[in-house]
Structure 1
Amino acid sequence: MGPTRKRDLTAAVVGAAVVGYLLVITLYRWFPPITVWTGLSLLGVAIAEALWARYVRVKINDGEIGTGPGWLHPLAVARSVMVAKASAWVGALVLGWWIGVLVYFFPRRSWLRVAADDTNGTVVAAVSALALVVAALWLQHCCKSPQDPADHGEGAET
């Protein structure tokens, strides 16, 4: 399993934005109001992942991976990678959705009052989804093992 590629996430964002825009064109009249609270749950998950990434990074850099009290179990790191990969994909798809909604709203804000009212909540949701993608990629990065000095020729005898 390799790291999540940013170009794949970008393609997912663009695809979800196109689908989201097409759905909003036909279904917007049945949408509930979009408030600032709509996307904040994603921001909470992003903050939790960023804090977990910091903790994992500190433990890996200190060499506290293994078994024993106060150590981080290797399976916890592997599970963290899986959570990071899943969160990156979910965040990318949700970000694409909210971008599609924003593309629908922006030209209509001047004459469609409901679109103007929903824009703030949509922006918060899109920013929260972007934060989730960034936190997930950071967590995935933090789960990498530190480089062996011998790999780069540092400290190796010649």
Structure 2
Amino acid sequence: MADEEEHRLRPTGWRVPAVLIAIGALLGVLLTNALPYLPVLPWSGIPTLLLLALAEGYTAGRTRRRIRRVPGTEPMEPLSAARLVALAKASALFASLAAGFFLGIAFAVSDVLELPSPREVFFTALGTGLASAVLLAAALYLEYACRVPEDDPDDPRGSA
């Protein structure tokens, strides 16, 4: 029994994303301060991350209804749910690191916003960091949506 508990997949808590955000922020600040000049950041990361967050949020809503067997939905295959949990975990880890990294860059250049290049880098990094945070929230919601509800003895459909 103890061996089963050891190999059980646990939900993503708040500690791992918080540590990854802190590590990413430290890396972003260190990299920005180590560079002699600031490279221009691509703005295309912002809509890309927001589209990923939208897709994961939509998938989470549908998955939650399917796992809870809401009338009008077809039951979810266990392998599909496992794949979605893996996607959610990977997205949460990536989004945590990316959010910290880009917010660290924004923080590092925040003292020279009167110059045009750092101002552009600041707004792009801030937007990308916030879009990563939205992706993190969507990934955690998708992971939550994949949880199997507790058995309800009054439910005529039986075990979920």
Normalised TM-score (structure 2): 0.83
Question: Partner of 1:88 in structure 2?
Answer: 92
Tell me if the contact between 2:67 and 2:75 (Cα under 8 Å) persists in the aligned partners. Answer: no
**CA spacing shift, 1:127–1:121, aligned 2, 3 Å:** same
Query: For 1:134, which of 131, 134, 137 is the aligned residue?
Result: 137
Could you list the runs of 5+ residues in structure 1 that have no partner in the other structure? none
Matches within 5 A, 1:52-67: 52-62=59-69
Question: Partner of 2:120 in structure 1?
Answer: 117
**Deviation >6 Å, runs of 4+:** none
Structure 1 residue 128: Cα displacement: 0.8
Structure 1 residue 39: Cα displacement: 2.4
The answer as to 2:48 corresponding to 1:46 is no
Tell me if the contact between 2:106 and 2:123 (Cα under 8 Å) persists in the aligned partners. Answer: no
Q: How many residues align?
A: 146
**What is the percent sequence identity of the aligned residues?**
26
Normalised TM-score (structure 1): 0.84
Question: Partner of 1:104 in structure 2?
Answer: 108
1:32-55 Cα offsets, whole Å, 9 max, x none, are: x23543322111111111110001
Could you list the runs of 5+ residues in structure 2 that have no partner in the other structure? 1-8, 156-160
1:83-134 Cα offsets, whole Å, 9 max, x none, are: 0000000000000101110111211102x32111222222211111001100
Q: Secondary structure at the match of 1:16?
A: helix
